[in-house]
Structure 1
Amino acid sequence: MVSNEMKTYGRLRPEVKSGVLALSILIDRIGSLPKGDRADLFELLQEWSKTDEVEEKDSLHRAMEEILAQIPVSVRSLPAASESPDALRSWAEHVGGKIKQLRAEAEMSQQQLAEKAGLPQSHISRIENAQHSATHRTLQKIARALGVKASKIDPNAD
């Protein structure tokens, strides 16, 4: 027996079907994101909906795309994380401090680094202050913008 949903889906125009499929994939992708990335995504979406500035909307859009474009990775326990609940925080502080140091050495403001990396300035600030941990892709963008290898920011990055 065919469900009512399938009957309804079958009557949709092809362009609507492709939109429904895209939404289904997007919902699945958001659901598979780590909790922190989902929170970042929704925070960026709220900021995007509040601003009327085209450049800010573009920057926020790129940051949201970056989160969604992450390649799903298998999760494994990190020994340091299981030994110390502060291990992730220490890593985020190390990475944030290194970015701040390299940015200062390059005589760049957070805004300049953000523009060069294609990220929102608020995201750079949160990473530097260890309020968020940077994704691998974000580290790559920041490293490129600073003219260094990602391993200079995080020894495990490359």
Structure 2
Amino acid sequence: MNKLALAIATWFGCGFWPKGPGTAGSIGALLVAWPLIVWLPVQPWHFAVLALIVTPVGIWASSRTAQLRNTKDPQIVVVDEVLGQWITLAGAAQLDLAHVAVALLLFRVFDITKPWPVRQLEALPAGTGIVADDLAAGVYGALVLSLLRFVVQF
């Protein structure tokens, strides 16, 4: 079970990227999303559903990996970025390359800057704290994407 937890928590190795593992995790999320966008008739809201389905597994894997690494939030854990990135995609007006790129940019900005109350969610216990702040950053990204739809017809 430890190997499975580590595989999920690092999003199958993305978390071991030496420079910017969080960005690598976000790109890893898009590597799953893009084939779904191209080959299936998915809508943006499907990514929110996918994130909600995977969240309990992500919390478990994050908790287990933190325990194995003996640290509260190991840098190699990027499943939280995957979930937050999918939440951000849910706010897109459509799923084309421009919207996916802006979703990536927005999520990374909110994940790195952690505006209120995102940073406070890190204080939640174990994997819940690891994942919750990125879910919240994803919500901020989705809200901005939705706002762009109405303000500038993006």
TM superposition score normalised by structure 1: 0.29
More relative contact order in 1 or in 2 (CA 8 Å, sep 6+)? 2
Structure number with larger C-alpha Rg? 1
